[in-house]
């Protein structure tokens, strides 16, 4: 790809605001100098298209105003010094080694340390650079993305560290290449993500969501209805994808479902294919794939022995070629349910995009205004897709949580459609709310969920729910 200016992460003069000034003050007090640059990487909220990026299907996220800021300065010693403005995160420093010498080690409970995510980003950058290092780095992090919320705080931290390290070594990558690199980086933590978080982090544009497709990665603007507001609410149930095998289990089940669905057209090989690739190989529509799943994978549960027999492989071969280290001990798999969710969710993404495009086409063909009735119908159509998505994630993918379901139910009682966003098992919901109803909706969530159900003090309840609009992607601020 051409390294045109628009394809590169912007490098601009740092804007003055209280948060960046405070970060610079922390940096100076710790390292005795001002930062030479500040990297900003946003969090994201996925509007629709959950758990399908790693199956090869498009997703429809937008970047948040909330972000990770990483202040950095170059040092001649080949060292990495990492600090965090949040005092609960301990300081960390290490010698800057070759990428294969950087070991990502979790705590005694299997949960990653905060700096493990930064090490993932730097490990991937080192591999890309073939260990050619000019400088070490002093780094100070400040984040206002709620951790373990499903809003991509961990991916933003991986991406910020990778981008900062590449910038320090004077490496130049376009947005798509660095998004792909950062997606690979995060797999060092143990999760088999699909690349959505990193793609939107670098390709996001203000005022619109992005329809992101794969192989090659491409982002297409999706202008959202003018009357649509999106509200994000935290369930107060935190989840860490790398601390359990829940996420990787779903990835493995999708791989195995794809393998079984493709048996009629493939000679047996151990090439891992995705559900999206199966659709292309069979040259079928999403509706036809949904019917094929019901016909070909009729059982609710498949044992490991049954799958081995169908694929004509040994248990060791199944473990080595299709499972991850933290899923090899599994003995049962739900293939039909996971595949149905993926194909149906992929169809919902396409429908969501088409509704937005149809609305904008109609507006462009008129005087740029629409009737109240048209706006209500459009939001209702989009909202129903989001509600259907949540039901599928709850019942077919089984990655919801009782707190998420309660938030969705409260929303529905107000005729506001909502769904879990992110990996699930906790984290946040995203709700599609008419603009004039946002204040009332947020106040209802505060009262009915945070105060009455969670016993949160009223003065603190509003910190867990916020309205948001699409923001811009990653940027490098220079300080002089």
Separation CA 180–CA 213 (nearest Å): 12
Query: Of 75, 65, 62, nearest to 17 (Cα)?
Result: 65
197 has catalytic annotation? yes
Separation CA 124–CA 118 (nearest Å): 10
Identified catalytic residue from 197, 246, 319, 375: 197
Torsion sign, CA atoms 126, 131, 134, 137: positive
Contact 201, 151 (CB under 8 A): no
Look-up: residue for tokens 């970047």? 63
For residue 49, give the DSSP letter: -
Residue 312: how many other CB atoms lie within 10 Å: 9
Look-up: residue for tokens 């549960």? 301
Query: Which residues 6+ apart lie within 8 Å of 373 measured at CB?
Result: none
Cα-based distances in Å from 137 to 70, 96, 173, 183: 11, 9, 19, 22
Contact 199, 212 (CB under 8 A): yes
Contact 141, 160 (CB under 8 A): yes
For residue 414, give the DSSP letter: T
Catalytic site positions: 197
């Amino acid at each position: 790809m051409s390294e045109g200016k628009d394809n590169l992460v912007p490098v601009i003069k740092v804007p003055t605001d209280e948060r960046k000034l405070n970060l610079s003050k922390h940096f100076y007090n710790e390292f005795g100098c001002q930062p030479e640059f500040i990297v900003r990487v946003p969090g994201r909220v996925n509007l629709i298209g959950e758990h399908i990026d790693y199956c090869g299907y498009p997703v429809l996220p937008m970047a948040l105003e909330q972000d990770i800021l990483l202040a950095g300065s170059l040092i001649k010693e080949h060292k990495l010094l990492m600090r965090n403005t949040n005092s609960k995160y301990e300081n960390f420093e290490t010698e800057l080694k070759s990428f294969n010498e950087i070991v990502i080690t979790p705590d005694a409970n299997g949960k990653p340390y905060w700096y493990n995510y930064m090490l993932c980003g730097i490990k991937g950058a080192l591999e890309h650079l073939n260990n050619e290092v000019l400088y070490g780095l002093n780094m100070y992090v400040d984040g206002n993305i709620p951790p373990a919320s499903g809003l991509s705080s961990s991916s933003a931290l991986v991406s910020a560290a990778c981008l900062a390290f590449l910038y320090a070594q004077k490496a130049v990558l376009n947005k798509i290449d660095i998004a792909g690199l950062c997606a690979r980086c995060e797999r060092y933590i143990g999760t088999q993500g699909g690349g959505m978080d990193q793609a939107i982090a670098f390709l996001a544009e203000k005022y619109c969501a992005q329809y992101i497709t794969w192989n090659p990665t491409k982002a297409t603007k999706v202008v959202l209805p003018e009357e649509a507001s999106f509200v994000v609410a935290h369930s107060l149930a935190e989840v860490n994808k790398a601390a359990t095998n829940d996420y990787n289990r779903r990835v493995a089940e999708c791989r195995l479902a794809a393998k079984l669905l493709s048996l009629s057209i493939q000679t047996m090989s151990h090439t891992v294919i995705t559900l999206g690739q199966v659709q292309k190989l069979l040259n079928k529509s999403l509706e036809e794939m949904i019917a094929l799943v019901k016909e070909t994978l009729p059982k609710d549960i498949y044992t490991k022995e049954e799958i081995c027999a169908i694929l004509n492989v040994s248990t060791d071969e199944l473990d080595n070629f299709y499972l991850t280290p933290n899923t090899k001990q599994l003995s049962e798999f739900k293939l039909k349910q996971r595949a149905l969710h993926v194909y149906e969710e992929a169809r919902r993404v396409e429908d969501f995009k088409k509704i937005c495009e149809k609305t904008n086409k109609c507006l462009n063909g008129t005087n740029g205004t629409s009737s109240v009735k048209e706006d209500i119908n459009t939001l209702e159509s989009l909202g129903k897709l989001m509600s259907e998505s949540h039901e599928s994630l709850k019942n077919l993918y089984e990655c919801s949580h009782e707190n998420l379901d309660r938030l969705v139910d409260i929303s529905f009682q107000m005729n506001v459609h909502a769904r879990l966003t992110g990996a699930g098992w906790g984290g946040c919901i995203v709700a599609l709310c008419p603009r004039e109803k946002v204040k009332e909706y947020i106040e209802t969530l505060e009262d009915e969920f945070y105060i009455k159900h969670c016993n949160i003090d009223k003065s603190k309840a509003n910190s867990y729910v916020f309205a948001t609009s699409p923001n811009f992607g990653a940027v490098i601020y220079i300080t002089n």
